């Protein structure tokens, strides 16, 4: 995608069921990374694309928190805080217009994508999953730089059999950093992951990273497919079905580490999530 996207859709429609011990009281997007809410990092990443507009599609349950967030992100809000607190604060970028809308429809990431694109009134948008934080704020920009404006694309990392069970595993064709999707397996167990590695070879497998470039054709397909299924439609599986007849590019970002804000605390403690620079709490997670 050689030009900047029209807008960015930030999917925040989940309830944090994997961390249900605390998520009923606080949206997982507010979980701190390097001393700042994860959502602020996500907005910084969206702003780095120079898209100009972003819409956060949130679960209606968290509307009271969103009202507060909207106020904090209003122009001049942090300057007012600095004045009252008599101390400087780190301000998120102000060059991004951010709208918040409650998700309408079935509980699913496809619903967030469709709600967000309809709000932006554009078919050329990028989708960013709010519970996947990139501390470098560069993941979405890297995807946009490598993707075609007329071809759907996903960002992925090289295959790691140990991490496959928490990702969508993409089966790729082609060579080089830009591949095409030929299939996808959602979060295979360790035995299945090994089978995929043996069958296709690790170089032909990738792990989804929660960043997608959406085209009008793909959005139309997602809308139609979500109406046909009685279960909650998953974006990753819909992408795999779309890729059977249409090209979907896979952009590889080596060395990329996403922080999963919805990861259970076993093996990933809250204290580690507070480490400045976010070098701890490194668990990758796909769409």
What residues contact residue 186 under an 8 Å CB cut-off, 6+ apart? 168, 169, 234, 236, 237
**Identity of the highest mean pLDDT range in 84-98, 168-182, 262-276:** 168-182
Q: How far apart are CA 129 and CA 10, in angstroms?
A: 6
> In the prediction, which pLDDT does 80 show?
86
Q: Any idea what DSSP says for residue 135?
A: T
For the stretch 31-90, pLDDT in tens is: 999 888 999 999 999 999 888 899 999 999 999 998 888 888 887 888 888 899 998 876
Cα atoms found within 13 Å of the Cα of residue 121, Cβ hemisphere only:
0
Q: How far apart are CA 171 and CA 183, in angstroms?
A: 5
- What are the DSSP calls for 223-256, one per residue? HHHHHH-SSPPPHHHHHHHHTTTS--EEEE-TT-
Ordered by start, the domain boundaries in the chain are 7-278
Give the CATH H-level superfamily of domain 7-278: Spore Coat Polysaccharide Biosynthesis Protein SpsA; Chain A (3.90.550.10)
CB 235 within 8 A of CB 181: no
Q: Binning pLDDT at 50, 70 and 90, where does residue 286 land?
A: very low
Tell me the average pLDDT across 180-206. 95
């Amino acid at each position: 995608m050689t030009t900047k996207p029209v807008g960015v859709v930030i999917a925040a429609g989940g309830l944090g069921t994997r961390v249900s011990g605390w998520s009923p009281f606080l949206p997982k997007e507010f979980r701190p990374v390097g001393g700042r809410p994860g959502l602020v990092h996500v907005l910084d990443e969206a702003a780095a694309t120079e898209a100009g507009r972003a819409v956060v599609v949130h679960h209606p349950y968290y509307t009271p928190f969103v009202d507060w967030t909207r106020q904090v992100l209003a122009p001049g809000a942090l300057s007012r805080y600095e004045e009252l607190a008599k101390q400087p604060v780190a301000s998120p970028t102000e060059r991004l217009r951010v709208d918040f809308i409650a998700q309408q429809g079935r509980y699913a990431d496809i619903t967030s994508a469709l709600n967000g694109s309809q709000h932006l009134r554009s078919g050329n948008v990028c989708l960013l999953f709010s519970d996947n934080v990139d501390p470098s704020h560069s993941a979405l920009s890297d995807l946009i730089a490598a993707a075609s404006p007329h071809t759907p694309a996903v960002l992925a990392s090289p295959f790691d059999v140990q991490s496959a069970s928490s990702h969508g595993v993409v089966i790729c064709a082609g060579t080089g950093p830009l591949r095409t999707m030929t299939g996808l397996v959602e979060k295979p167990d360790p035995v299945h992951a090994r089978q995929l590695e043996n069958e296709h070879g690790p170089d032909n497998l990738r792990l989804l990273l929660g960043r997608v470039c959406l085209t009008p054709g793909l959005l139309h397909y997602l809308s139609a497919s979500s109406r046909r299924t009685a279960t909650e439609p998953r974006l990753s599986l819909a992408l795999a079905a779309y890729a059977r007849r249409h090209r979907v590019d896979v952009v590889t970002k080596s060395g990329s580490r996403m922080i999963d804000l919805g990861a259970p605390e076993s093996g990933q403690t809250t204290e580690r999530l507070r480490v400045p620079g976010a070098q701890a709490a490194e668990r990758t997670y796909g769409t």
